[in-house]
Structure 1
């Protein structure tokens, strides 16, 4: 692939990231507080929206694998996802009323995540065709992650610029929505025009149970281990994102710096992406992903210990300390998930040899189906636990009880530490490496001939 083709393909991840990241950081607090739905209700609606969306993943994977078009296996699905994506973005980021109902929020979220599902599974399945080599996949999918980070930069920089004239959360959310609506059609059309697609013939044997391949994946131990690691890591990252603004306001007590520190976090993650990519190319994907998890554990543990020394410092010194933590933790953010995507593509090739057909759409739908459980639980569980058990009230901020404040800090720190620990073990013990994939690729080439 030429560089511009790579950029065109990977840029598809930019609007998805730009719309997805603010869900935890801005949208949930916006609907809970500014629009009056409340913390628990927003958490429940988000979970239900995510849960119903989860049910669509196997269907999307099946459609991608079984129903190509004259454009190829993937392009038409990317095209179809765009109008759904735009409608959902308008509903969620530019609400038509100042007092939306719970049904309005649910429908908007469901449409948004359905568009994410169709686009993301298609993109990942497409990568198995665009980058058939072990290391080339790492390069392509880390470039895709870079585009996601650029999307995140945009939606962090936009609120930072908007708050100069209007510090309201609504102004920030509206501005992000307009940016995403502008990006979707341009990036989608460019990718469809510029990126090559697989034109291989597809088996459409209707006598088979169409979900048979999906069900069989539950017994594939290699894939299950990867998926469990992905679920745990997704849960960690989403939990930190869902609690970040609350953590900055209630625990750290520096809410005025939250947007700028978040921007620094994602800028640093670009350098982290380069580190983990380089380590992966020098060693293996699973080793680099495992090391990134261990690194995150070390930073979180150090941050927990350091908090007790800096919590009563003056603002300047506290800001320096918290900023240092954000920088160090940001290096881990972009490490494991793009490498896990590349590992999943390798397992997909292995399965293609075993079943005699390319089922990359089904394999990635399996990954995304279960990973979304981690994303969904990360939003609903901490909010429910904080509000129902500790009596935390988001509307009164630092006036909450000391025990509820500390609960936020313990959840923010120790739940990810435990999850990253389990994930690192699963990644380090993965058994499909570079030489194994070369053998698999050789078999695929023979079958193609």
Structure 2
């Protein structure tokens, strides 16, 4: 990757400015966030921006980046730079991936499809969520020849887990990312104050309603006697939402028991609090794809992951959405990296808001980094174009930070380039 990557984005913005044109989405992280927050409905804002409890974990994620400073070297030839990384047998043009985020139709009608197109344009792998608004096969078609992984929420029904993994592998996923920190739903006051869970309204369950194992469970559920309550306007509105987001025609769905049964079935089978290390072998029996564990924060868990034969881990606290007062992901990263001793790749997630943040995570040992809320904000403001510009800005800033610090490639970014405050 030559010098023009960062400078090209920078120069194009300035050249466009001569003609009165500005980027479709704000470049500054705070401005991007604030613009998206103004656009979102109260429910969407609570779901996207909210975190657990007092939201101290989300705050700690950001504070952890401020605890490190970049110490640049000067008078080194940085005219040619390479942002590429090798990950699971493929050369990636940048160390970025898009973190799995569900219910994207809350922020934009094109949801996952808009993100998929932008990710392919940027050469950034997309980790497709189990809670996507669109079936994985349709997302894979939008990605085309691009790269994507599948994030697995391990259901209470093993047969459903097996079906998801089989579908993902058949559709072209390159890895399975098992998210392990949502076996119980975190205490999220913003959502609780609104008494709003999108899945209860039929949103974010497209992977399920498109799955043969799940639909069989739904048909069985629909035959059970139902307890009825006096309808309210809110209940009728919820029913309309369920019908609108279920496969098939709206009016047909309103008259059918299946859409409501699908929501009830999902709420029954989504979480698996009994999941243990012993269950990982079941997953290995059903796929040859690399398996990563997402939600690792403790070095002992990292060691056990290596011993269990998984192919990679993602250091993440779910963006602060699960445990209030948890350790910041960046604070946990160095100890996890030391614990695995380069046996498997360590990826990083939670809190990155700019290219310099990505630089710090890479310097502390991450092999790649995942972007979350910033690309959702880009989607909110400008759909595919918004996501594409956010990715362009992150890639450009990382490239320029690389060169300005005296580095020419990702392996040059080591802990020696940082100092703790």
Q: Structure 2 length as normaliser, TM-score?
A: 0.26
Q: Structure 1 length as normaliser, TM-score?
A: 0.25
The answer to which structure has the higher strand fraction is 2
The answer to which structure has the higher helix fraction is 1
